[in-house]
Amino acid sequence: MAILKVARMGHPVLRAKARPLEAAEIRSPAVQQLIDDMFETMAEYQGVGLAAPQIHESVRLFVAGIPARTGDDDEDEDDDDDDMPLVALINPEITPVGREVSEDWEGCLSIPDIRGRVPRARSIVVKGYDRNGKRVEIKASGFSARVMQHETDHLNGVLFFDRMKSFETLTFLDEFGRYWSRRDVAEE
């Protein structure tokens, strides 16, 4: 396992369209290792998602999720499914379900210490492959739908700034904590 270097905004790999992985490639030791390293890198930086282009690999793969919390600290009875099981998704295709769009804060490991409000489809279906090369279809809404849209955007060279309706809400992390929220928004 290894912690990988995260590409920051301005690196061309973040603006490239990543290539799909072949079915046979998915189970190769190289790709399995890459997935393990991406999970480790995401945990190291306390992210909730990490797409392969962010670690300089231009392939259609992302990892996402929050490791199950131990202990019961449930004061945030905050609506949305803030919980998200760890998942690795390959060649994801997203289809919005319904027309509802919700706006919420996002951050990105490739744009450190900045937050902004981004509109996203509230509910989606994601089709793709898991790390065993098995076809999967995941229904998601709220937080996990947001994360998966953010990560899939990375595979198309799209960053969350591109999705913002206005830059008025762009905020440094310090100011975010001071003026906008008591709870942190993890980076993706």
Tell me how far, at minimum, the Cβ of 146 lies from Zn ion, in Å.
11
DSSP string, 77-140: --SS------EEEEEEEEEE-SS-EEEEEEEETTEEEEEEEEEEESEEEEEEE-TTS-EEEEEE
Residue numbers annotated as active site = 151
Tell me which residue of 57, 18, 56, 59 sits closest to 158, measured CA to CA.
Answer: 18
Tell me how far, at minimum, the Cβ of 77 lies from Zn ion, in Å.
28
- Kindly provide the b/e burial profile for residues 123-140, where b requires at least 16 CB atoms within 10 angstroms of the residue's own CB: bbebebbebeeeeeebeb
Question: Looking at 27-35, 39-47, 104-112, 131-139, which segment touches Zn ion (CB under 5 A)?
Answer: 104-112
Q: Is 106 in the site for Zn ion (CB under 5 A)?
A: no
Residue nearest to Zn ion (CB): 108
Exactly one of 38, 108, 145, 155 binds Zn ion (CB under 5 A); which one? 108
Nearer to Zn ion by Cβ, of 57 and 188: the residue is 188
Tell me which residue of 6, 3, 5 sits closest to 154, measured CA to CA.
Answer: 6
Tell me how far, at minimum, the Cβ of 154 lies from Zn ion, in Å.
6
Nearer to Zn ion by Cβ, of 37 and 188: the residue is 188
Question: Looking at 58-66, 72-80, 106-114, 163-171, which segment touches Zn ion (CB under 5 A)?
Answer: 106-114
